[in-house]
Structure 1
Amino acid sequence: MRLTETAYAKINLALHVRKRREDGYHELETLFAFVDCGDVLTARRADEDRLTTVGPFATALDNPFDNIVMQALSALPRPDGLDVTLEKNLPVAAGLGGGSADAGALFRMVRNAFGLPGDWRERAARLGADVPACVDSDMHIGLGTGAQRIEVENDMAGMAVLLVNPLVPVPTGPVFKAWDGIDQGPLPDGSARTIAREGRNDLRAPAIEICPQIATVLDALQATDPWMQEMSGSGATCFALYESAEIRDSAAQKLGLDHSDWWQMKGFLR
């Protein structure tokens, strides 16, 4: 038996920070979207759980026992172990939910092979606020710490996406700490296109303070005339959406020539 799952890259089409909670987390309103590419997990049944990490960003995960995939394996009861290989294609600390996406893919893998316990959402949330959303990997509004979901009209499926990162890691904690604490209001009402157009990312300014290269990436993406461009999550990855793959591919080629040291990935919204 061989299992394969893509850990779909998560992007925040809008991210409104409303207030700081008593538990230290922040009250969020976000429009989650997922790109049809990312890390790749493969697995086969084994006597015990094992994890091997390969791929261009494998060296960033130097302790496999501290990896969220191993934590996800420990969180899910199964009759057999899984020998998992994680192909790490997404940069770490990049605002793409990479670790959460890996855990989400692992949950789907276990669901397909063994089934999930009825409280799987609670188990996923204990691993990280974004993990339940990454198990679903569908467009929706996330509330609270991101674990509560509200359905939204997905009128953006199939849009061409370009992800760009200047290869500067930006840890989430310092970005939230640098947020000015001013509540700028809730997400707008409407379909995904409306929310993406009229919403904002409240973490963009504090992330740019920590990593000025984010502003350079956003300016470069804006120059390619996309439908929209924004920073994802707490950075440093930025994304641009295009009405066609041809326009996106042309933009990717130009950015690759002008900024050969930047990481990029092309895909489509799910």
Structure 2
Amino acid sequence: MTVLKERARAKVNLTLHVLGRRGDGYHDLESLVAFADCADALTFSEGESFSLAVTGPRAADCGDLTDNLVAKAERLLAERVPKLKSGAFVLDKHLPAAAGIGGGSADAAATLRLLAGANDIARDDVRVIAAAQAAGADVPVCLLSSACMMRGAGERVTPLPLPRLPCVLVNPGVPVPTKDVFAAIGLKAGETFTPPSGATADIAWPTASSPPTAWLAAIKSGRNDLEPVAVKIQPVIAEVLALLGSAKGCTLSRMSGSGATCFGLFDTDASAATAAASLKSAHPTWWVEASGLS
């Protein structure tokens, strides 16, 4: 019996620029995306039919499993691959849901990677890519699960040689519906987004031989266009950003995705661990993780 395992790493939008809104209603984005060491875990055992069980500290957050993105991803790939070998999935859930770090999308992408392996299909097979795109906007980038530039509505993904960056991830446990954030931006179909005064989306990204300081400078020159809107919806996000930014060794604090998870980049893993421990102590109900991005 085939038993395979995959990690579904948390997605972090180091930058997220809104370029406009397309005629099909989707927002046109450009985002530098990296992935954290913290992750959900997914185990697959080949069997006669699909099944899904959820364990872990955040299993209760998954709700109705028939609507889970693991089930959706399996169904979408089965529609594209005749006689797809499927089986039993066990999701060990650690990442917070609806938090701006693509937890469900990462689970869906891990599902597609597992099924591709079990069926001797390349991960970049057009059918796998099509299933990822159909599963959700963040699933194609999570399918790669390594640093890249994401463009369009998530369908265009280009790998980038980002060095490992120590970080702390913090989610204060408040909901920030993605649809509400984009609605608050107020773009109509066909309209372009006007960035803050002096801001630009035209960033010269470093190369593989560039030092981490060059990458940090480039990331700092970007922004998350959803952050100001999300802060208005949930003001506690501003508190999280301030606490991260004031921590010793923090070089940048910013929100990921549409929130409410925020990240701080740190000069060393040790300073990130110290900051995470302090935040956990002061805010025991928050989700806080020291990690690395790559």
Task: Give the TM-score category using the shorter length.
Answer: over 0.9
Tell me, yes or no, if structure 1 residue 251 matches structure 2 residue 275. Answer: yes
Identify the residue that residue 231 of structure 1 maps to in structure 2. Answer: 255
What letter matches 1:173 in structure 2? K
Identify the residue that residue 221 of structure 2 maps to in structure 1. Answer: 198
Identify the residue that residue 186 of structure 1 maps to in structure 2. Answer: 201
Deviation at 1:180, TM superposition (A): 5.2
Structure-2 separation of matches of 1:50 and 1:60: 18
TM-score after normalising by structure 2: 0.87
Structure-2 separation of matches of 1:138 and 1:14: 15
Deviation at 1:150, TM superposition (A): 2.8
Local SS of the residue matching 1:217: helix
Q: How does 1:76-225 map to 2 (within 5 A)?
A: 76=77, 77=81, 79-116=84-121, 117-154=125-162, 156-157=163-164, 159-179=165-185, 181=187, 182-184=193-195, 185-191=200-206, 192-225=215-248
Structure-1 separation of matches of 2:96 and 2:180: 18
Structure-1 separation of matches of 2:183 and 2:120: 39
| 1:29–1:187 CA contact under 8 A, matched in 2 | no
Structure-1 separation of matches of 2:14 and 2:182: 18
Deviation at 1:79, TM superposition (A): 4.1
Deviation at 1:133, TM superposition (A): 0.7
Structure-2 separation of matches of 1:94 and 1:20: 23
Structure whose alpha-carbon radius of gyration is higher: 2
| 1:188–1:194 CA contact under 8 A, matched in 2 | no
Residues 81-104 of structure 1: CA deviation (Å, up to 9, x unaligned): 220011111111100011111111
Structure-2 separation of matches of 1:111 and 1:162: 32
TM-score after normalising by structure 1: 0.94
Structure-2 separation of matches of 1:132 and 1:195: 24
Identify the residue that residue 22 of structure 1 maps to in structure 2. Answer: 23
| 2:33–2:147 CA contact under 8 A, matched in 1 | yes
Structure-1 separation of matches of 2:118 and 2:127: 17
**CA RMSD in angstroms, aligned pairs only:** 1.5
Deviation at 1:168, TM superposition (A): 0.9
Structure-2 separation of matches of 1:144 and 1:215: 28
Structure 1 stretches lacking a partner, 5+ long = none
For residues 237 and 111 of structure 1, do their structure 2 counterparts lie closer, same or farther at Cα, with a shift above 3 Å needed?
Answer: same
Deviation at 1:118, TM superposition (A): 3.2
Structure 2 stretches lacking a partner, 5+ long = 188-192, 207-214
For residues 151 and 79 of structure 1, do their structure 2 counterparts lie closer, same or farther at Cα, with a shift above 3 Å needed?
Answer: closer
Local SS of the residue matching 1:229: strand
Identify the residue that residue 52 of structure 1 maps to in structure 2. Answer: 53
Local SS of the residue matching 1:163: strand
Deviation at 1:187, TM superposition (A): 4.2
Aligned-pair identity (%): 39
Local SS of the residue matching 1:195: helix
Structure-2 separation of matches of 1:221 and 1:59: 28
For residues 180 and 79 of structure 1, do their structure 2 counterparts lie closer, same or farther at Cα, with a shift above 3 Å needed?
Answer: closer
Deviation at 1:232, TM superposition (A): 0.2
Deviation at 1:152, TM superposition (A): 2.9
Deviation at 1:197, TM superposition (A): 1.5
Range with greater deviation from structure 2 (61-70 or 177-186): 177-186
Identify the residue that residue 190 of structure 2 maps to in structure 1. Answer: none
Deviation at 1:115, TM superposition (A): 2.9
Deviation at 1:125, TM superposition (A): 0.5
Local SS of the residue matching 2:110: helix
Q: How does 1:64-79 map to 2 (within 5 A)?
A: 64-76=65-77, 77=81, 79=84
Residues 234-269 of structure 1: CA deviation (Å, up to 9, x unaligned): 000001111211101110111112111211122211
| 1:187–1:195 CA contact under 8 A, matched in 2 | no
Residues 126-179 of structure 1: CA deviation (Å, up to 9, x unaligned): 11111111010111111111220234342x32x212110001121110011112
Structure-1 separation of matches of 2:85 and 2:129: 21
Structure-1 separation of matches of 2:280 and 2:202: 34
Structure-2 separation of matches of 1:216 and 1:37: 23
Local SS of the residue matching 1:14: coil
Range with greater deviation from structure 2 (69-78 or 31-40): 69-78
Range with greater deviation from structure 2 (81-90 or 185-194): 185-194
Figure out how many residues of one structure are paired with residues of the other and give that number.
268
For residues 197 and 126 of structure 1, do their structure 2 counterparts lie closer, same or farther at Cα, with a shift above 3 Å needed?
Answer: same
| 1:30–1:146 CA contact under 8 A, matched in 2 | no
Structure-2 separation of matches of 1:136 and 1:188: 22
Local SS of the residue matching 2:142: helix
